[in-house]
Amino acid sequence: MIGTGSIPSRRSEHRTLFSSLLWWTLFLPLAWVGMWTVIFLFCLGIGIAYTTRLPFLSGIRLLVPTGDRFSQGLDWVRSALKFGGAYDWKPVFEAPQQQQLQHLQLTHGKCRYIVNEPSREPIGTVVLLHGVSMLSDMWAHHANELCERGYRVLLFDFYGHGYSSCNPRLRYDLDLFVEQTAEVLDILCSDNPPVLAGFSLGGLVAAVYTARYPHRVARLCLIDSCGFAAPPLPLSCFPAYLCHGIYSAVRTTPIRQLSGFSGGLLLEGFANAYNVTQSDVMHAFEAIRHFHGFFGITYASLWLLLISWSYQMRFGNRGLVYKQFLNNFDPFGSFSPAISKISAGFSGRVLLVWGEKDTLVPHHLCTQWVKAIPTAELITVPNADHNVPLQQPDMLSEAFQVLLSDDLVAQPGKHSNCESTKVA
């Protein structure tokens, strides 16, 4: 039987032709070049990692963003002059003991969680959701601060992240993370609806969870959240638009198989070469705030991404998770149908917190969020890129204060470090 359908317009044909030309002339070649460039740099980094175990060459590690490099340089000179072992460039941190880790047994595996209880009767519960490749430890600063204000704070690792189950047979997509969030909150936040805050991927999960279960959330905070695809214009959106195109190209056959295999292999090699520990991860969380400018922030952000994934390779095959995530989820895509349901059923306060210079999820996309959620309020963090919780933790703390206050409308005069605006 021959199906019937509408005849595509000439405009849609032109749009399809333009997209095809853009795909074959720009995104697909960039994907190949970018992938092989990353593979080369990773191999170079692994080679340097093994080579710099020699005393005289260990100074190359001073290029790694780990704290006071001037003091580290002096220590390395002393180490080299003594002809002793290679300089220990790693900072000292107290790593959590394995027996202190708490897990919930959920439908698709174990979920590691942390509950910070205040010293007095809690005002309420705040749930903080992390981003892609991160783990819940990224919220350590804000969890302690909110706990001091009297809030009970809940953190947990998404499947395939942190200390939660890492099952390569799972389909790592948005529905999986939303389902996991629902199960965790049903168990640990059954008494009262919590305040839900999410960063990047965590913001999208928080938004979709709120759309599905509006009566289970008291207030909602989205920080540089995924959810809408960036357009090519204005120019501030082009880097994100380009990343989306490259990501889409990398997901095609045969690049997908090659990138998934090589990505996991290189992460494992890097983790073994550098002996990445949780101390390194915590220091990378701290170090990113000391870098400024596009290249400095990009360098520190990529280093954090590499350190985080390499560390997690030590207790789970993140290479297979990375491949499944690549196959099943597009963080640069648009999820507007799910997001638009928030305003229909959710009556709580919604706060958007965005880095002014975010290149992954451009500030321009806030207009799309406000169209979907007309009651949403926007706080712009000046001179911040995508990683607002790590780059500008104090300003995010002020944004949390706005969200948790009893005022219906934020008053910018009381929070001079943040720009609070309503998007038309």
Among the listed ranges 3-7, 198-202, 347-351, which one has the minimum average pLDDT value?
3-7
pLDDT of 416 > 50? The answer is no
Q: Among 11-25, 250-264, 393-407, which range has the highest average pLDDT?
A: 393-407
Q: Is residue 78 part of a domain?
A: no
Q: Is residue 404 part of a domain?
A: yes
pLDDT at 126: 96
Q: Is residue 348 part of a domain?
A: yes
pLDDT at 336: 87
pLDDT at 70: 62
pLDDT at 10: 44
Task: Give the count of domains, the chain.
Answer: 1
pLDDT at 5: 39
pLDDT at 96: 41
User: pLDDT tier at 361 (50, 70, 90 boundaries)?
Assistant: very high
406 vs 1 pLDDT, higher one: 406
Among the listed ranges 35-44, 83-92, 127-136, 153-162, which one has the minimum average pLDDT value?
83-92
Segment 329-342 shows an average pLDDT of 88
Q: Is residue 304 part of a domain?
A: yes
Q: Among 15-19, 330-334, 347-351, which range has the highest average pLDDT?
A: 347-351
Q: Is residue 140 part of a domain?
A: yes
| pLDDT tens per residue across span 61-88 | 545 555 555 665 666 566 556 554 444 5
382 vs 66 pLDDT, higher one: 382
Q: Which domain holds residue 321?
A: 16-51+90-424
187 vs 11 pLDDT, higher one: 187
Among the listed ranges 64-78, 130-144, 364-378, which one has the minimum average pLDDT value?
64-78
pLDDT at 16: 55
Q: Is residue 5 part of a domain?
A: no
pLDDT at 242: 81
Among the listed ranges 47-56, 178-187, 255-264, which one has the minimum average pLDDT value?
47-56
Mean pLDDT for the chain overall:
78
pLDDT at 18: 56
Q: Is residue 4 part of a domain?
A: no
Q: Is residue 254 part of a domain?
A: yes
Segment 211-225 shows an average pLDDT of 95
241 vs 65 pLDDT, higher one: 241
Among the listed ranges 95-109, 324-338, 404-418, which one has the minimum average pLDDT value?
404-418
| pLDDT tens per residue across span 284-331 | 888 788 777 777 777 778 778 878 887 888 777 777 787 788 888 888
User: pLDDT tier at 412 (50, 70, 90 boundaries)?
Assistant: very low
pTM across the whole model:
0.78
Per residue, what are the HEC states of the chain?
A: CCCCCCCCCHHHHHHHHHHHHHHHHHHHHHHHHHHHHHHHHHHHHHHHHHHCCCCCCHHHHHHCCCCCHHHHHHHHHHHHHCCCCCCCCCCCCCCCCHHHCEEEEECCEEEEEEEECCCCCCCCEEEEECCCCCCHHHHHHHHHHHHHCCCEEEEECCCCCCCCCCCCCCCCCHHHHHHHHHHHHHHHCCCCCCEEEEECHHHHHHHHHHHHCHHHCCEEEEECCCCCCCCCCCHHHHHHHHHHHHHHHHCCCCHHHHHHHHHHHHHHHHHHHHCCCHHHHHHHHHHHHHCCHHHHHHHHHHHHHHHHHHHHHHHCCHHHHHHHHHHHCCCCCCCHHHHCCHHHHCCCCEEEEEECCCCCCCHHHHHHHHHHCCCCEEEEECCCCCCHHHHCHHHHHHHHHHHHCCCCCCCHHHCCCCEEECCC
Among the listed ranges 106-115, 145-154, 279-288, which one has the minimum average pLDDT value?
279-288
Q: Among 44-53, 55-64, 214-223, 247-256, which range has the highest average pLDDT?
A: 214-223
Give the tokens for residue 54: 């020699």
What CATH code is carried by the domain that includes residue 274? 3.40.50.1820
Question: Quick one: what percent of the chain has pLDDT higher than 90?
Answer: 36
